[in-house]
Amino acid sequence: MTPASTKSSGLKLAIDYGPLLTFFVVNSFGDRLRPLLIRLGMAPVTKNIFIATAAFMVAILVAIVVSRWKLGWVSAVLWFTGAVVGVFGAATLYFQDETFIKLKPTILYATFAVILLFGLATDRPLLKPLLGEVFPNLDAIGWRKLTRNWMLFFVGMAVLNEVMRRVLTSTDDWVTFKVFGVTGLTFAFALAQTPILLRHGPKDGAGQ
């Protein structure tokens, strides 16, 4: 991997996970930010989650701008995530109800699952347009299996978020689960797809 590609990968990682980390950090230190917001003339905020939600919305917008500026494009996933965060974040702040931001992952994962299921039903694995540049030599069966597995993963994550937002009575605990638990599960699941990539990737001597 060249220094340029390493830099690009690091920037993409920051774009993908920077807003989520911002959400966690601001939620954790919202008590320290509240007096500053009041001095700036902003209405008093009663809960850290509302400050964190506003920061999350701003961070997503920054991620979109930086992606367009530095990478030259914005992924469909980032556009859609930004739209969902914008809608549910605005509802959270307007109604002063954290339920909306807690529902956001459920809606996001369920939508991804439906989109991937539609692709499978129409024999068009929709992961390929998103990840084709990353796995250019994956065969048709591999793309179908990968799409199926991620579809099932998103269904599971939507259900898991619904369970956790009800079981975890503390909003701080839910935020921790969302940032670290979900991220860890996603990385672990992605790693678990390695056998498919190896089995349905380039054969010996292919693509050389």
Instruction: Write down the pLDDT at residue 41.
Output: 61
What pLDDT digit, counting tens, does each position of 135-166 carry?
878 888 999 999 999 999 999 999 999 999 99
- Say if CB 112 and CB 154 are below 8 A apart: yes
What pLDDT digit, counting tens, does each position of 56-67 carry?
999 999 999 999
Q: Would you tell me the crossing angle of helices 182-192 and 140-167 to the nearest 10 degrees?
A: 160
Instruction: Write down the pLDDT at residue 130.
Output: 77
Instruction: Write down the pLDDT at residue 84.
Output: 95
How many CA within 13 A on the CB side of residue 130? 17
Q: Where do the domains of the chain lie?
A: 1-95, 98-208
Radius of gyration of the chain (CA): 19
What is the rounded CA–CA span in Å between residue 162 and residue 102?
9
Write out the chain's pLDDT in tens, 208 residues: 444 455 567 888 899 899 999 999 999 987 777 676 666 665 555 688 998 999 999 999 999 999 999 889 898 889 999 999 999 999 999 998 999 999 999 999 999 999 999 999 998 888 888 776 678 788 889 999 999 999 999 999 999 999 999 999 899 999 999 999 999 999 999 999 999 999 987 665 444 3
Instruction: Write down the pLDDT at residue 47.
Output: 82
